[in-house]
Amino acid sequence: MRGSLTIVVVVATGLVLSSRGSAQSNPQLPAQYLAVKLGLSIGGSLTAHSDARTLKASEDDMPVQLAPIDRDNGLKSASPLAEVAYLFSAHRFFAIGPLLGLHSWRSEAASTLGESTSLGVDLGLILQPRIPLGSRFELYLSIPLNLTLSILNEYRTWTEVQHGDQGAAESVDPAYGWGIGVLVGARYAITSGVGLLLELGWQRYAFTHEVQYRLSSTLDEMGSGTGLDLDLVTSQFRVNAGVFF
C-alpha cells in the first residue's frame, strides 16, 4: 500500500513540475492583466480662453474693462505621468478596463514666469482594440476616456499677467474636466505571468477653472473682485513604458 502511494505521489509531482516547466518555456499573454506604466510628455500645446468682463463697485463708479484672453502656448517636454489599469478581455481582439492615473504639465510661459507645474488626477476607462501576432506578442490601440480632477498652479500667467496692472489673481480652486487619448502600444510576455509594454500617442484634456481676481486699488478704491472663468485645453504627445502581470 505504501509502495503504491509513493508511486502516486512521485507521478503527481512529476506532472506538476512538467506543467510548470512547459508554462515557463511557452509564455503566453494573459487574457486579463494589471498594467503599471510610467511616462513622459514629449511636447504639446495649451490654449487659454477667458471672456471679457466689465467691473465696477457701484453704479456711480467708472467701469473697468477686462479684455478677453485667447492665447496659445507650447508645453514643456518631459513632464512625468503614471498610470495603473486593469484590462479584461471582452474578445480576443478587444479589451476594456478601468484606469487610475496622475499626469502633469507646464506651459512655456508659466515656466518663464516661475509658476509651478499643474497636475491632473485621472479616473477613467480604456477601450483597447488589439491585434495578436503570436502567443506572446500583440499590437494594440489604447483609447482612454477620463474624468479628470485638475489642480491648476499657473493661473496667474493666464489672468493676472494678461491683464497687466489692472489687478491680481488671488486664488483658484481645483476643477473637474475630461480627457481623451489615442495611443499605439505593443505588449510582450517574458513569462506567463510578467511582460513589458510600450506606448506612444496623444492625450487631450479640457477643463474650466474659476480664478478669484481683484481689481487694483488705483482703478477701484473698493477693490472689487470677481471670478474669472478660465477655459484651458492641453494636448500632450506621450511615451509610456511599463510592466503587466
Which amino acid belongs to residue 65?
Answer: Q
Percent of all residues in the chain with a pLDDT value above 70, rounded to a whole number: 84
The span from the CA of 61 to the CA of 55, in Å, is 9
All residues at 6 or more sequence positions from 116 whose CB lies less than 8 Å from its CB, including other chains:
106, 110, 153, 154
CB atoms inside a 10 Å sphere around CB 177: 19
What are the residues facing 34 on neighbouring strands?
86
pLDDT value of residue 167: 87
Mean pLDDT of the chain: 88
- DSSP-derived letter for residue 222 is T
Residue 229: pLDDT over 90: yes
- The strand pair at 175-189 and 167-172 is best described as unpaired
Mean pLDDT of 128-141: 96
Please, what are the domains in the chain?
30-244 (2.40.160)
Q: pLDDT tens digits for 14-62?
A: 433 444 444 445 788 998 999 999 999 999 999 999 999 887 655 666 7
Residue 218 backbone phi and psi in degrees, to 5: -75, -20
pTM summary value:
0.84
- The strand pair at 33-50 and 80-91 is best described as antiparallel
The span from the CA of 245 to the CA of 184, in Å, is 20
Q: pLDDT tens digits for 111-131?
A: 999 999 999 999 999 999 999
The span from the CA of 112 to the CA of 123, in Å, is 31
The span from the CA of 81 to the CA of 153, in Å, is 17
Q: DSSP for 112-139?
A: HHTPPPEEEEEEEEEEEEEEE-SSSEEE
Tell me the longest C-alpha to C-alpha distance in the chain.
108
The span from the CA of 55 to the CA of 234, in Å, is 29
- Burial group, residue 160, by CB count within 10 angstroms (0-12, 13-18, 19+): buried
The span from the CA of 173 to the CA of 160, in Å, is 16
pLDDT value of residue 192: 85
